[in-house]
Amino acid sequence: MPPPFQGLLPCRHLRLELGGAPRLMGIVNTSPDSFHQDSRQPTLEAALAQARRFVAEGADLLDIGGQSTRPGYTEISEAEEIARTAPLLRALAAEFPAIPLSIDTYKPAVAAAALAAGAHLVNDIHGLQGPGGPALARLAADTGAALVIMHHDPTISATNSTSLPALPASSAPLLNSVLAFFRRSLELAAAAGLPADRLILDPGIGFAKTQPQNVALLRNLSALHTLGCPILLGVSRKSVFGHLLPELATPADRLEATLAATALAMAQGVQLHRVHDVAANRRAALIAAALRAE
């Protein structure tokens, strides 16, 4: 396994140490239609209460989202997304000045408003390869923000759709495609003046991927360390677990499965874990870290 990233992640005026203890990113959704019903916080007061609980439970970062990107989601306007997220970010930046805050958006105008409100990271589900990608990269470069590059490439989901791939040989084409996508994103970031030391890679589990591809990536997360960036895993309560075990029919059923994935990802050197349940995932990650062979 290539060595995982170790060092400090600059995110504006803050620095996040990575490579030691696992880092938990708590998901705070202000959208009324996020896929996990219990994560929906439609009022500022409810979202603040959830964020405070996450910090008390040991969250290292908070990821604020106003636009659901679940399957079949409905696009909302920039103005509505800003209205859902900017007031919360302002309140959290004032109350928790040492906690890095992430804005989960692919819209440059929303990202700009979030950064003005106190955000430190931009979380782009299109990995800088969507229509707003160049503007997002320039915005992060100009403000000193860090940026999460998520893999999201619909062209790969036409392959490996019938059975789980054997390892390692049959996973190679998928991994090569994912790595090529990330290399292109890193080039786009560099062209915008955004240095590599402010970038995080997310394999994008559940986004434009077949079930076998999701599983293959989860088995091979360590391959992403070849690019030299920190890795963030966002698999909390997702449908990949329901496909593996049909009794896990809804997001509410998938906590144990998420904890297992968090522990296995920690064993593969994944530094950041984006989760709905901070306390439980923190314990799972810490036990995995304690038991990991040196």
Residue type, 98: A
C-alpha–C-alpha distance, residues 255 and 277, integer Å? 8
Catalytic annotation on 209?
Answer: no
Catalytic position from the list 84, 209, 237, 238: 238
- Give the residue carrying structure tokens 């292109």: 184
Sheet with strand 272-275: strands edge to edge = 199-202, 146-150, 121-124, 101-104, 61-65, 23-29, 272-275, 232-233
- DSSP assignment, residue 2? P
Could you tell me the CA-to-CA distances from 161 to 154, 179, 181, 246 in Å, in that order? Answer: 13, 20, 20, 18
Catalytic annotation on 107?
Answer: no
Q: Which residues pair with 287 in a beta bridge?
A: none
Contact 4, 231 (CB under 8 A): yes
What lies within 8 Å, CB to CB, of 283 at 6+ separation is none
Contact 128, 149 (CB under 8 A): yes
Catalytic position from the list 274, 282, 283, 292: 274
Catalytically active residues are 238, 274
